[in-house]
Structure 1
Amino acid sequence: MPTHSRQHSLTSPFLEGPPVTPWRTKATELRRRSTFLKRIAFLAIVSVFAVPIWILGSQRPPSRIHEAAQDSVAPQPAAPAQHKPVGGLWHHAHRPQTAADDDSETATSIVPLVPVRLPAVHDDSGLVPEEGAIQSQPGEEEEPVTFSLLMWSEASASEGVILLKSIFMYASGPTHIHIICDEAAHSYLEKRLALVTRPRHDILVRFYRPSYEAMAERVEREGAISTIHSAGIVGLMKLFIHEILPPTVKKSIFVDTDAFFISDPRLLWEQFRTWGPDTAISMPSHPDMSSAPWRDANKICSCVMLLDLARLRALRLMDSSAYRAAGGPAALSPPAFAALFGAPDPATGKYRDAWLGDQSYWWAVVKARPDLYAHLSYDWEVSSCLVDMYITGLGDADMPEDEQARVQTDRVKDTPHAGQAVVPRLLHFNCLPVDNYYEWDGWNDPKEGLNKRWGAALRYHTGYKWTWLNQSPAGETALTIETVDDVQFADVASAPTQN
């Protein structure tokens, strides 16, 4: 029979009986002693442990939730329960104290926030703390990952819900999502969000509802931009996110609706930490690409961007007749646009050849002010368009990284990732010949390369049920929904009043 160590399980099937141990020998000796001695020993042992426990139990510390509430919420008079917004993330419901309550504490409970509507806020005083610092729950130090998204029409929202779902699925901490939308998109999204009552982490979703007329008027106040891209005026709003969201939102991630995450969004958020002191914009760049008709605007992709909104506000990214009338510093964009497009067309007063809409204008800014720009890894732009997902995808699960890099060599040649393997973290299904990427016929073709590589991922994320996102015990987390109606752009909201 083999020799076994003393750490082996006492119930090991390889041992005929339990091994002899010191504690077992002592137990045998005790069994042989008189009943009187056993009782004396038992009472002595109990007294040694019971008395300290009783003393500690009588000095009960105050509730952690109560302490947090005292620090963050002003004392409330006894009144029927009512909802009060605290930092936009939680509602604290206070109830009257009863005789059954402990005299030393005021009972406090935390309940999920019901949808509320907020006024448009553009506070330029600098006194409002950065969002993220005030939105965390008590004791939560982790900065929320913050998104700014654009969904206009129900069709756009039907793509965007897959993106939202993927954010919820993979987020490792609190998340704030600011959505610029119309009524149709808002209604479509809220029906899905209503199914999530216990997300794994706290989530704030805030809808901004500018009118189409207000967006068109803001473009006109700029003076010389226009677009012939299919996204139209709404697509140009990517250039004005910093003017729609309040100053409390300092930075954000923008992602097009025809994309979804397959990794933790915090990995993308952490890219902000790698920036230089002057960086304000980050997006993927493709120096290997060129197009004269597009004025090389395909050298970047505004499909996914990291935006320092505070810096873009300070730089006054986009011009406005309101800014020009008020005086002050000149806007950043006019000289950048003129350098790329030349003078506006005398007949229309608009720049020519902005074929790619907002991306054309972003390219003008990046080209004129490279100090403001940082390249974003292709890991976050695994695209179905010109680069065809870099010929990477599901399957060959044990393929070494160097072999994957060899497969992708031609796809990343002459780029910042030459010789490197792209590690997919965000999938972007653009350039498919349908309105909604998930309705493409190729997903039903077993011979289609894109379907072979990513069809399973698409079906998993579209089919994942919203109710499966309820992963926390009731009352511990909340999905908060807020709405800002009648949004005013910052150029008008911050302009001095004319007497």
Structure 2
Amino acid sequence: MYYGSSSHSRRLLLLLAVALLCILPLFFKDELVEKYQDGGWKAYLSESTDSALPAILLPALEPVVFAFMIWSRGSAEEGAQLIKSILLYNSSPTEIHIACDDDSRIYLESRLKLVTHPQHDVHVVFYPITVQDMLDRIEREGSIKTDHEAGTPGLMKLFLHELMPTVNKAIYVDTDALFIADPTILWRVFDTFRPSTAIAMGYHPEQMAHAWHYASRICSCIMLLDFEKLREQRLMDSRLYKDGKAALSPPAFRAMYGEPAGPDGRYDNVKLGDQGFWWAIVDHMPEIFEPLSYDFEVSSCLVETYNTGLVGADDMTEKEELASMMHTEKTPMEGKPVRPKLLHFNCLRAETYMEWDGWNDPTDALNRKWGAAVKYHTGYKWAGSTGPQATRMQERPATVEVSTIPKIEFYDQQQQHRIAGTDETPEH
């Protein structure tokens, strides 16, 4: 009897405890709801734990960094659409460095002001550059010039690592392009670089344009550039350098094009603008180059977007996709389907690709493939281009920060300062 009574009492106490635990939340329901609404589940943590939470659970996302050269109103209008597509798809913070004229800066700032609820932090830095700044740097280099339609601003792609000395690496994209997938995917390609790699871009070994010295075998329209390596290895020469260290590009240019033989002592036999010079560099020094997947270089020019597009059944198999591909034989993408993530609308012969007449022609092949994508992205409103606030826990809302460098200096000018130990205006 004694043991039986004790066991019965213990069972009774256990039942009472369970009942109490079930009833208690009803008494404190209002307080719990109020605390949850005030601070979410973090409201239940002590202040010391809460203060440590971001470092524990929320490691800072690495920003995806871009470097652009935007010159003229048309370029600014295209560049704005490119930036909008970045903000629409990027799953990481965005950092954009833009060398531009004042009119382009004003236009782009007017669009960025419309972005009030970014998913992640956005930081845009403008580098105001004049035609004279560009001409002076080209003069100090000593050998390059261009007759390409992109003009002198196009050659500045060879000097972006100098214009932006605090940037370690960046994605360069021509303005006549749109992202249709997360740019973070492209950014992560940097993580796959060999230790010696400083440049990645689309590579087309099947292109055989002898008149261009085969410069169409690459496309400098989309590039991954390790700025830090290009500065350390001194990509471009300058008469301001007095330390005896040789630049990479002069022997590469001579190997491809011979000695500068133009009437002004500069190269007059280089085609495709900056691309002709990039081609000489990567052909002469393949150890610093890696081919970039065609997924990020779906071009409307020579490769006809590889016959990809918003056409055909959505249940097409990979085998069927491969059978429909064009311009991938004897390339790094042979046997692999191109999965478009960045569209490049070049060679359309219009002030901006958005104004191309072919978008109004229902029979045009490019319009059938990608016209709907252009209409969607250019029609998407800036105010809605960033979607809802990020749902991950964070200490503050994401912001858009815009700044302008008060006075630009190229890296060769900064080096001249450093050697002289002064902050005086550099030689031009």
> Partner of 1:486: helix, strand, or coil?
coil
Any idea what the Cα deviations from partners look like across 1:110-156, whole Å, max 9, x if unmatched? xxxxxxxxxxxxxxxxxxxxxxxxxxxx9433211110011111110
Aligned mates of 1:41, 1:389 — CA distance in 2: 67
Matched residue type, 2:80: V
Going from structure 1 to structure 2, the CA distance change for 1:400 and 1:60 (only over 3 Å counts) comes to closer
Q: In percent, how many aligned pairs have the same letter? A: 46
**1:203–1:480: 8 Å Cα contact kept in structure 2?**
yes
Within 2, Cα distance between the matches of 1:411 and 1:44?
70
Q: Which has the larger radius of gyration?
A: 1
Distance 1:384 1:159 in 2: 16
Q: Equivalent of 1:489, from 401, 405, 410?
A: 410
The 3-state SS of whatever aligns with 1:411 is coil
- Aligned twin of 1:196: 115
- Judged with a 3 Å threshold, the aligned counterparts in structure 2 of structure 1 residues 40 and 320 are, in CA distance, closer, same or farther, namely closer
Q: Structure 1 pair 465/344, CA: closer, same or farther in 2 (3 Å)?
A: same
Q: Is 1:169 matched up with 2:88?
A: yes
Q: Secondary structure at 1:146's aligned position in 2? A: strand
Is 2:172 the partner of 1:254? Answer: yes
CA–CA separation in structure 1 for the residues paired with 2:363 and 2:44: 71
User: Hey, what does 2:355 align to over in structure 1?
Assistant: 439
Aligned-pair RMSD on alpha carbons? 2.9
Partner of 1:208: helix, strand, or coil? Answer: strand
2:257 is the counterpart of 1:341: yes
Answer with 157-166 or 411-420: which moved more: 411-420
Residue deviations 1:367-395, cap 9 Å, x none?
10000000001111111101111111002
1:58-84 CA distance string (max 9 Å, x none):
996227786699x9xxxxxxxxxxxxx
Structure 1 match to 2:268:
352
Displacement, 1:169?
0.6
Instruction: Tell me the distance in 1 between the aligned counterparts of 2:178 and 2:47.
Output: 44
1:302 paired to 2:205: no
In structure 2, relative to structure 1, the CA distance for the partners of 1:198 and 1:296 (3 Å cut) is: same
1:211: how far off? 1.9
Match of 2:46 among 44, 53, 61: 61
2: distance between equivalents of 1:298 and 1:41? 77
Task: Indicate conservation of the 8 Å contact 2:233/2:247, yes or no.
Answer: yes
Amino acid at match of 1:190: E
Q: Deviations over 1:416-438 (max 9, x none)?
A: 11232211110000000212111
Judge conservation of contact 2:262–2:268 (CA < 8 Å) in 1.
Answer: no
Corresponding residue of 1:411: 327
Displaced runs of 4 or more, over 3 A: 38-51, 57-60, 63-69
Measured after TM superposition, the shift of residue 328 of structure 1 is: 3.6
CA distance in 2, matches of 1:372, 1:43: 70
Distance 1:50 1:244, change over 3 A: same
Give 3-state SS (helix, strand or coil) of 1:189's partner. helix
Distance 1:44 1:487, change over 3 A: closer
Give 1:349 shift.
0.8
Give the equivalent residue in structure 2 for 1:21: none
**What are structure 1's unaligned runs of at least 5 residues?**
1-37, 72-137
Correspondence for 2:280? 364
Report the CA distance between 1:254 and its aligned residue. Answer: 0.3
Partner of 1:329: 245
Cα distance in 1 between the residues matched to 2:206 and 2:370: 25
Taking the aligned partners of 1:392 and 1:193, their CA distance within structure 2 comes to 32
TM-score (norm 1): 0.73
Aligned 8 A contact 1:154 1:184 in 2: yes
Say which is worse superposed, 311-320 or 389-398, in terms of deviation.
389-398
What does residue 480 of structure 1 align with?
401
Establish whether residue 386 from structure 1 lines up as the match of residue 302 from structure 2. Answer: yes
Write the deviation string for residues 195-251 of structure 1: whole angstroms up to 9, x where unpaired: 00110111111111122211110010000111111111100110001101123x110
Q: Which amino acid aligns with 1:182?
A: D
> Are residues 1:152 and 2:152 paired?
no
Which of residues 204, 207, 214 in structure 1 aligns to 2:126? Answer: 207
Aligned letter for 1:365?
Answer: I
Please state which structure has a larger fraction of its residues in helix.
Answer: 2
Write the distance in 2 (CA, Å) between the matches of 1:61 and 1:394.
53
- Secondary structure, counterpart of 1:485 in structure 2: coil
2:366 maps to 450
Equivalent in the alignment of 2:198: 280
Specify the alignment match of 1:22 in structure 2: none
Name the CA shift for 1:42/1:424 in 2 (closer, same or farther; >3 Å). Answer: closer
Alignment of 1:204-243 (within 5 A): 204-243=123-162
Give, in whole Å, the separation in 2 of the partners of 1:166 and 1:59.
39
Q: Give the whole-Å Cα distance in 2 for the aligned partners of 1:393 and 1:48.
A: 57
Residue equivalent to 1:88: none
TM-score normalized with structure 2 length: 0.85
Letter in 2 for 1:313: R
Between the aligned partners of 1:453 and 1:60, the Cα distance in structure 2 is 54
